[in-house]
Amino acid sequence: MAEKKATPVRTPAKTPSGGGQRSIMSFFTKSASSTKAGTTRTPAAETPKSSCLQESTTRSNTLLKARHPVDTTPVPSSDAPEPRSSQENVDAFTAKKIRKVSSVNPLPSSPSRKTKKAIDYAESSDEDEDPFPVMASQRNRRRVKTRAPVIDEDDFELDEEAEAQDDDDDMDDFVVSDDSDATPKSKKRKRPAKRASPPPRKRVASGPAPASARNANDDEEDVDMEELPPHSTAQQWCFDPNAEPSAAQGGVVAPAARTATSSAVARGKAHTKNPDERYPWLAKMQDMDRNSPGHPEFNPSTVYIPPHAWDKFSPFEKQYWGIKQKLWDTVVFFKKGKFYEIYENDATIGHQLFDFKMTDRVNMRMAGVPEGSVDMWINQFIAKGYKVARVDQMESALGKEMREREDAKAKKADKIIRRELSCILTAGTLVDGSMLQSDLATYCAAIKEVVIDGVPSFGISFVDCSTGQFFITEFEDDPDFTKFQTFVAQTNPRELLLEKSRLSTKALRILKNSTSPTTIWNYLKPSVEFWDGHTTIREIDTQGYFVPEGSEGEDAVWPTVLEEAKERELAMSSMGALIHYLRTLKIEHSLLSLKNFEWYSPIRRNGTLILDGQTLINLEVFSNSFDGGTEGTLFALLEKCATPFGKRLFRKWVCHPLCDIAKIDERLNAVDMLNSDPSTREQFSAQMSKMPDLERLISRIHAGACRPDDFVRVLDGFEQIDYTMGLLSAWGGDKGIVDRLLASMPDLKEPLAYWKTAFDRSKAKTDRVFIPERGIEDDFDESHDRIQGIKSELADLLEEQKKELKCKTLKFADIGKEIFQIEAPKAVKVPKSWRQMSSTSSVKRYYFTELTDLVRELQEAEETHSQIIKQVASRFFRRFDTDYETWLQAIRIISQLDCLVSLAKASSTLGLPRCRPQWVKEERSVVDFEELRHPCMIGSVADFIPNNIQLGGDAAKINLLTGANAAGKSTVLRMTCIAVIMAQIGCYVPAASARLTPVDRIMSRLGANDNIFAAQSTFFVELAETKKILSEATPRSLVILDELGRGTSSYDGVAVAQAVLHQIATQIGCIGFFATHYHSLATEFEQHPEIRARRMQIDVDEANRRVTFLYRLEDGVAEGSFGMHCAAMCGINDRVINRAEVAAREWEHTSRLKESLDKAKSGCYIPLGMLSDVATLLRGDDMDGVDILLRAVEAL
């Protein structure tokens, strides 16, 4: 069969500067990424193609020039025993070709270059690559065979069988399966009987010796395709859920035993195909306490590795499993060169969720992503609910070599590139603002519960890790867990820390019902991980979280809030659990040392309007009932803040509206002032909207984890604040809250003055590096001078060579990391000691000893300089952090101003009519709105019908609301509550006039919902919510009840509704609405002075069974619910409706309720509530009840 040449995967354009660059010709050497304009890659040499690849190659040749998809996730090359090519993952949609193996063996040829193991990165790994190429001149090539290959300690060690298989499959990686229906087959010849083998060495998983070592004398000899394995490992890299795993086979298949059709047999997954070769401790996994899955104490975050297994690990495996052993339930991204790799179950997760190309094998299956996209993929894993850890390389290859030289006695384990666990990321503890999806706070909460005599008590600590804001609380709750449910509704925690087997069933059900499906649940062992209060105090003192930098332990100053909480066992225990968990994430010190603690009260009874958890849900304050989003909610209507930290504060304002008339009017005065000058208001918002999230960024600066460009943005933000405050100070003058905020703004000019000349801001923005100005950092200046001195020596050396060679065109050329090569025209004769590194058609490039010594010295100086730059950044951050309190105070003042501007904007967008609420101080509660519209429907309904609301004052406190189905009763109830909340936050309301007294609590009973997860029926939920209203409502409360009693029979429902209505109107004396379809209640309470019958107006067409809803509230009792008319409007069959009408008439005729109504019409009926009141009065031991009754009779 005629042989054809395989088309290269990539054919770069030829340029003069790169055409002869020999150091990257070898296929088994990592290529250097060029950073100069003239640098190019050398195309892969053409390789004969076997018959088994003809059809696949012909089909895919037309795809070679196609642009690779941007989101294709490559699998990097690994040092593990795996197929060494990662190219398939970069060319996920492009067929690959067999590349030629260069005959040039990678050998040391410069002061810093060591031979690299055979790796084909999809992207070149600049960090691990040495700056000098490995070159072998013609006269040195015969010595290639005798040089022992360099062993890289990052390799995974193989046993004898696995290495034999690795030799056979060495080239499998570079062949992709054919997409056609035909099964590719290879024509195989026997391998040579003898092969050139290197000197005896330790067997590692870096594959067989390069082809250049076997055929070093033949520069142009191509790889013989018929010596390759007969099938491609690309098939096992591609996941096929429909493929059935093949039968178990031995670890090694001799080449002679393979048949011509073996490539057509589908490979099973390696880790399931050969279970006998699987690590026993992975096949039968246990946690570090030797508990198996299913055991009550099993810890899924750890895995047990027996001591004898560590003895067989390579240095890299020891490094990996030393970290992964304690993070078994965490996806660990492990930095290798220019890639982050994931292994074992992590690789399987990535393969299943995101279609990562996975290198499957018995142990340590692998997938990976380029470092440039690792943040994006980490976000994807976190969004799916996974914890993610990142292990970074703490030194470059050059830094590693310098360290080894300084420590000549280093052990073998120390020769591996140093890697450390840099962070563990979870959805509830993200600290990087770029990874957060919302400007609102994301909380991680630790919950401690004890139940004594049936009364639950809670200790709760939670933190917003992005800002370092801690909250701590302890409270005794009621049997309905009202405060606990309110805490969950207000904070919506993203991650939970719970004491294993200690939380009550009811608390667990509330958490399951009220949190997001993606909430992360962590169960901690009591005492060990979920500390008690004494352990927490001891750990805080021992670790010195509150010790000022440079001080001793006795100088520790606890935050006031935490100091006061020391005696509260439950609160300190929950704080201990939170600290322990943050410690495992390696972020506890940076957060605690901020000392940003606040006491949290879910229900604040003094000075604020109480909105419990059920009310927040029923009124759709933060999330709607449709899809759980914010559209149509009160928060979405009012929140118009320009800054992220303003939005977070505004959510707290909505959770806790004010009750103090003076404070409410103060906010309203600020709203009026801001709206009187829209230009200033808009200018403030425009300037503030340009700022980053300063509150989060100063927390990152405190932790020493801020990028230089973000640091510049922080400085620019505070300078903008300082400038804006100067303008607003001249604009104020009304002696209100705005003036007080402006007066309390700290002076930022002094702390900002230092940073104006501290470093080059343009470099920090563009290059993301701190370059201090001269004289700021002495060690930086010295290091910079040393580098400049070496470069000056290089320039002098170039001038000397120009004179010696009498060639003025000599110059330095950089080819990737091979810097300062001397480039000379081909015609120039150079000394024999010069080594040619690369060439083009017109020039050659050289190194010689003196030059390489200087280049090596320069590279080491630059490596040292890079470490000094990191130290300079840390010093800058510490210096900035000394003014943390000043920065935080400025942020809090800006956030309050931003909230006031938000209220002003919201007030101005309500349309007409709108009004400022008028607050009255009266003994009797009153809520009086004229032409009130539903605030949340202003943007979506243009012709909303307004209504007058009168509760209390000169009118009855309770409105008994009746009306047809879908007539708008629930809308009236909700819009009244929403308007009251808006008024008490300090906002205008969409009404012609508003007159009211402050409400201390809004309580609601709306809708008909059961609670399956809480084992509660619809009626049970109704009564539980009603019981809370009856026990906690006050005369200053606003109560709304909608169709109470619908969850049971009609008689029971009427009885419950009647009793509850009588209780709230007669005994409690609160204001509110009672919506019902039990029209008999209007007759029952017709004479009650605190109950006013009202109805929703409608127009009924009896002939066509149609109801026209007018949505107008009027006095009176509805004639009926008109359920049959609604059924007809919904399209129900007339025969069904007719039969229903007959049944309704018969039931009404035989009903005892009808008898009571008939008695009431004749004047012979005494309401049950009146009888109950009389009985209560007469039941007393003294004569006061009789006197009251006599006075009542006289009044009648």
**Residue 1159 in this model has a pLDDT that exceeds 80:** no
- The residue that leads in pLDDT, 112 or 1136, is 1136
Cα angle at 867 between 864 and 871, to 5 degrees? 135
d(CA 691, CA 714) in angstroms, rounded, equals: 8
CATH code of 528's domain: 3.30.420.110
Query: Does residue 1172 carry a pLDDT above 90?
Result: no
Instruction: Give the number of other Cβ atoms within 10 Å of residue 958's Cβ.
Output: 26
Residue identified by tokens 């009650």 is 1088
**Do 431 and 466 touch, CB atoms closer than 8 A?**
yes
**Position 839 pLDDT exceeds 60:** yes
Tell me how far apart the alpha carbons of residues 652 and 892 are, in angstroms, rounded to a whole number. Answer: 13
Identify the bridge partners of residue 341 per DSSP, sorted by sequence position.
334, 368
| CA–CA dist 977, 254 (Å, integer) | 81
Closest residue by Cα to residue 348 from 340, 339, 359, 337? 359
- CA–CA gap between residue 844 and residue 98 (Å, rounded): 30
Mean pLDDT, to the nearest integer, of 623-627?
84
Q: Are residues 537 and 660 in the same domain?
A: no
Do the beta carbons of residue 497 and residue 470 sit within 8 Å? Answer: no
**So what's the pLDDT on residue 418?**
86
Give the pLDDT score at 255: 37
- Give the span between the Cα atoms of 1080 and 16, in whole angstroms: 98
CA distance linking residue 205 with residue 284, whole number of Å: 26
Of residues 950 and 263, more confidently modeled: 950
Q: Whole-model pTM? A: 0.74
Residues 434-479 pLDDT 10s: 888 889 999 999 999 999 888 999 999 999 999 999 999 999 998 8
Burial (CB < 10 A; 0-12, 13-18, 19+), residue 1073, is: buried
Instruction: List the one residue out of 117, 149, 116, 110 whose CA is nearest residue 133.
Output: 110
Instruction: Tell me how far apart the alpha carbons of residues 714 and 698 are, in angstroms, rounded to a whole number.
Output: 8
Identify the pLDDT of residue 1012. Answer: 58
**707 lies in the same domain as 853:** yes
> Of 1086, 1106, 1108, 1105, nearest to 1097 (Cα)?
1108
Pick the residue with more confidence: 629 or 457? 457
Burial class (CB in 10 A: 0-12, 13-18, 19+), 428: buried
Per-residue model confidence (pLDDT) at position 241? 37
Please check whether residue 1031 lies inside any domain of the structure. Answer: yes
Q: What is the pLDDT of residue 1122?
A: 76
**Any idea what the CATH number is for the domain that residue 1125 is in?**
3.40.50.300
pLDDT digits (tens, 9 = 90+) for 6-24: 444 444 444 444 444 444 3
Same domain, yes or no: 685 and 751: yes
Residue 29 lies in a domain: yes
Asked if residue 1038 has pLDDT above 90, the reply is: yes
Residue of 198, 9, 36 lying closest to 98 (CA atoms): 9
Exposure string for 366-379, b = 16+ CB within 10 A, e = fewer: bbbbbbebbbebbb
DSSP label of 1048: S
Look-up of token digits 């670790």: 543
Residue ending a domain, among 425, 454, 480, is 425
Residue 139 has what DSSP assignment? G
Two tokens, residue 548: 């000022």
- State residue 1190's pLDDT score: 72
Least confident of 150-159, 613-622, 1092-1101: 150-159
Is it the case that residue 105 has pLDDT exceeding 60? no
User: Which tokens in the block code for residue 452?
Assistant: 């004594």
In a domain, 121, yes or no: yes
**Per-chain mean pLDDT for the chain:** 77
The Cα 258–Cα 57 span in angstroms is 24
Q: Pick the residue with more confidence: 566 or 1193? A: 566
Q: Quick check: 142 pLDDT over 70?
A: no
Determine contact, residues 454/476, Cβ cutoff 8 Å: no
State mean pLDDT over 909-934: 93
Residue 610 domain flag: no
| Phi (first) and psi of residue 359, to 5 degrees | -85, 105
Residue 349: CATH number of its domain: 3.40.1170.10
User: Is 122:85 a contact under the CB 8 Å cutoff?
Assistant: no
Determine the Cα–Cα distance for residues 846 and 132; give it in Å rounded to an integer. Answer: 11
What pLDDT was estimated at residue 1177? Answer: 63
Please tell me the total count of domains within the chain.
6
Which comes out higher in pLDDT, residue 246 or 1125?
A: 1125
Residues 444 and 421 in one domain: no
- Across residues 848-875, what is the average pLDDT? 93
Q: ∠ CA 1133-1139-1142 to the nearest 5 degrees?
A: 145
pLDDT at residue 499 is higher than 90: yes
Q: What is the structure's pLDDT at 1161?
A: 56
b or e along 1110-1126 (b: 16 or more beta carbons within 10 Å of the residue's beta carbon)? ebebeeebbeebbebbb
CB 1035 within 8 A of CB 1068: yes
Output helix, strand, coil percentages for the chain, rounded to the nearest 5. Answer: 40, 15, 45
Percent of the chain with pLDDT over 70: 70
DSSP letter for 458, please. E
Nearest 5°: CA angle at 68, between 63 and 70? 155
pLDDT band at 1013 (very low <50, low <70, confident <90, very high): low
pLDDT of residue 1138: 83
Give CA–CA dist 1118/482, Å, rounded: 35
How far apart CA 586 and CA 387 sit, in angstroms, is 14
| Least-confidence region, from 105-109, 388-392, 1042-1046 | 105-109
Tell me the C-alpha distance between 394 and 415, whole Å.
Answer: 13
Residue 247 inside a domain? The answer is no
| Sign of the C-alpha dihedral computed for residues 749, 755, 756 and 758 taken in this order | positive
Nearest to 634 by CA among 937, 992, 1041: 937
Tell me how far apart the alpha carbons of residues 727 and 739 are, in angstroms, rounded to a whole number.
12
Q: Give the confidence band of 513 by pLDDT, cuts at 50, 70, 90.
A: confident
- C-alpha closest to that of 490 among 580, 369, 585, 613: 613
Predicted confidence at residue 270, as pLDDT, reads: 59
Report residue 845 as tokens: 């490039």
Q: Are strands 1106-1115 and 1037-1042 parallel, antiparallel or unpaired?
A: unpaired
Residue with tokens 């801690």: 470
* Rounded CA separation 630/638 (Å): 11
pLDDT at 1141: 79
- Domain ends where: 215, 238, 261? 238
Whether 148 contacts 201, CB under 8 Å: yes
3-class DSSP string for 1071-1094: EEEEECCCCHHHHHCCCCCCEEEE
Please tell me whether residue 335 adopts helix, strand or coil conformation: strand
Instruction: Give φ, ψ of 847 to 5 degrees.
Output: -125, 150
Angle value at C-alpha 1188, between 1182 and 1189, nearest 5 degrees: 105
Taking the C-alpha atoms of residue 597 and residue 566, their distance in angstroms, rounded to an integer, is 13
pLDDT at 69: 40
Co-location of 476 and 589 in the same domain: yes
In angstroms, the CA 275 to CA 139 distance is 50
**Which is higher by pLDDT, 1107 or 308?**
308
Q: Of 549, 583, 602, which one is at a domain's C-terminal end? A: 602
Among 265-269, 720-724, 1055-1059, name the one with the lowest average pLDDT.
Answer: 265-269
* Cα 766 off chain centre by: 27
| pLDDT tens sequence across 1128-1138 | 878 888 888 88
Token pair 């607003």 is found at: 728
Burial (0-12, 13-18, 19+ Cβ within 10 Å), 805: middle
pLDDT of 112 > 60? The answer is no
Flag the least confident range among 143-157, 327-341, 399-413, 710-724: 143-157
CATH number for 791: 1.10.1420.10
Identify whether residues 598 and 698 lie together within a single domain. Answer: no
Q: What's at 1030, amino acid-wise?
A: L
pLDDT at 229: 38
pLDDT at position 700 is: 93
Q: Are residues 398 and 469 in the same domain?
A: no
Please give the single-letter amino acid code of residue 383.
A
Q: How many CA atoms lie within 13 A of 878 on its CB side?
A: 9
Do 411 and 452 sit in the same domain of this protein? Answer: no
Peptide bond into 370 cis (omega under 30): no
Section 304-320 average pLDDT: 91
Q: What is the arithmetic mean of pLDDT over 585-590?
A: 92
Q: Quote the pLDDT of residue 195.
A: 46
Average pLDDT over residues 681-690: 92
Residue 79 shares a structural domain with residue 25: yes
Compute the residue count for the chain.
1196
State the Cα–Cα distance between residues 639 and 649, nearest whole angstrom. 10
Residue 330 shares a structural domain with residue 234: no
pLDDT above 50: residue 1032? yes
What order do you get walking across the sheet with 520-524 strand by strand?
520-524, 495-499, 443-452, 455-464, 469-476, 597-599
Residue 182, in any domain of the structure: yes
Q: What is the pLDDT of residue 1110?
A: 87
Q: Can you tell me the distance from the alpha carbon of 128 to that of 791, in angstroms, rounded to the nearest whole number?
A: 24
Whether residue 591 is found in the same domain as residue 644: no
Residue 633 and residue 623 in contact, taking contact as beta carbons nearer than 8 Å: yes
Band of the pLDDT at 734, cuts 50, 70, 90?
low
Q: What is the DSSP letter of 117?
A: P
Residues 105 and 149 in one domain: yes
**Alpha helices (H) along 64-123:** 87-90
Cβ distance 958 to 1064 under 8 Å?
yes
Residue 445 counted as domain residue: yes
The pLDDT, as a whole number, for residue 16 is: 41
pLDDT of residue 145: 41
**Is residue 790 domain-resident?**
yes
Measured in degrees and rounded to the nearest 5, phi and psi for residue 445 equal -120, 135
pLDDT confidence of 550, banded at 50, 70, 90?
A: low
Owning domain of residue 883 = 639-818+841-909
994's enclosing H/E stretch is strand 993-996
Dihedral sign (CA 776, 780, 784, 789): positive
